[in-house]
Amino acid sequence: MEDAILKEIAALPPEKQREIYEHAKRLRAETAKKPPFKSIEGLWATLGISLPAEEIDENQREMWKNFPREDI
């Protein structure tokens, strides 16, 4: 792939080569900025927080109990 890209770039005038170079730099910078995704469990792992499924379910029921529903 790299050889094919270089071949295409070499066939362009210098100003277009500069545009491709600048675009490639932007793409590389964007890629470098993204932090790795961490799950909530991973974030909590070092904090010693433990939430059992029953407690989560209870909290969800409490949170949504007054939410208007159209299916009733």
Would you write out the chain's pLDDT as a tens digit for each of its 72 residues? 999 999 999 999 999 999 999 999 999 988 887 777 667 667 777 787 777 889 889 999 999 988 887 776
Placement of tokens 């790795």 in the chain? 36
| Alpha helices for 1-72 (secondary structure H) | 2-10, 14-33, 40-44, 53-64
What's the CA gap between 7 and 38, in Å, rounded? 39
pLDDT at 38 (0 to 100):
67
pLDDT at 72 (0 to 100):
61
Name residues whose C-beta falls within 8 Å of residue 17's C-beta, 6 or more positions apart in sequence.
Answer: 9
**Domain ranges in the chain?**
2-33
Neighbours of 35 (CB within 10 A): 5
